[in-house]
Amino acid sequence: MKELIKKLTETYGPSGREERIREVIKGEIEGLADEMRVDVMGNLIALKRGSSPPAPPKLGGRGRKVMLAAHMDEIGIIVTHVDEKGFLRFARVGGVRPLALVGGRAVFADGTVGTFGLEKREPEEAKKVPGFDKLYLDVGAKDKESAPVGVGDIAGFQRPFAAQGDRLMAKSLDDRVGCAVLIQVMRDLESSPHDVYFVFSVQEEVGLRGAITSTYGIQPDLGISVDVTITGDTPEARTMAVSLGEGPAVKVKDGGMLAHPAVKNLLVETAEELGIPYQLEVLAGGTTDAMAIQVSRAGVPAGCLSIPCRYVHTPTEMVDHNDVLNAVKLFVALLSKPIELG
């Protein structure tokens, strides 16, 4: 899956500008789905029809309508001002951190590349993390008129994919690695008793917006998001029982939701049946598309399978390839059998 992850992570697609990454994903899943459509928000929705009739309400054993969601947008910046010398001021799109920007590069949809610079600061300010008002983007323009981009243009980070053995490094692993999991599950899933909707959602980083509308339209019986989660295995990291290479993490709780106990148990039991390593995730802050799925309409039993990821929301994130492969195995096994929610 490394080549697939490389292709996805190196594709442009900040929140609200997902057209290019959506076309790449469409090309990867062409011929794998019975139906494929793009909704008004821009979500890419692919359906693999099940072999069993729908289960009666509150009963298991036959086919269900299952939704798997991974967001295809990435964090970025949006230009708010161009000064007379051609330097760009900007605001963040999603959870961008100033400390991760200085010296890095950003790329716009038209290919324009810029580097992040930092204003000169007084000695007493130099020890503090700079705010966005102290940062600018230099696209090499000589003046305002020659700047190739302007107010309202959106850029994502520019950083190539790299693999050090099983450790994969790239920008936008949040959540292109989740998209890669869904694509591989579509490839490996030979048959299922369930109607499985694979949703590549938009605008997750700015408010779970694509998941809200797609869930409302699909009305699933069960929903699971695939996203990344932070780890507790780096020096001076916050205490958290998630590490790279120890298996995908089954979410128990995050800052926006409590996973449905039956969905959490379904993931755990499936992993244990197959001997797939897994971890349990309790995340203090942040959330995923699973929150939007859970509270859609009258409510949906929802959970999340997370890929452990170091340095989330920076230009270089890191995951372990084995965690990704095991996430795929878990989903293929889960979707290949009847689902009892208790």
Please give the helix or strand (H or E) that residue 250 lies within, else none: strand 249-253
∠ Cα 129 162 228 (to 5°): 65
Catalytic residue among 74, 204, 246, 317: 204
Contact 282, 230 (CB under 8 A): no
Closest among 243, 218, 221 to 230, alpha carbons compared: 243
Distances 3 to 10, 176, 245, 315, 317 between C-alpha atoms, Å: 11, 12, 19, 19, 16
Cis? peptide before 175, omega within 30° of 0: yes
Q: How many CB atoms lie within 10 A of CB 261?
A: 13
Q: Name the amino acid, one letter, at 162.
A: A
The backbone torsions φ and ψ at residue 281, rounded to the nearest 5 degrees and listed phi first, read -115, 125
Catalytic residue at 204?
yes
Query: What is the rounded (10 degree) CA torsion for 108, 286, 278, 68?
Result: -60
Residues that are catalytic: 204
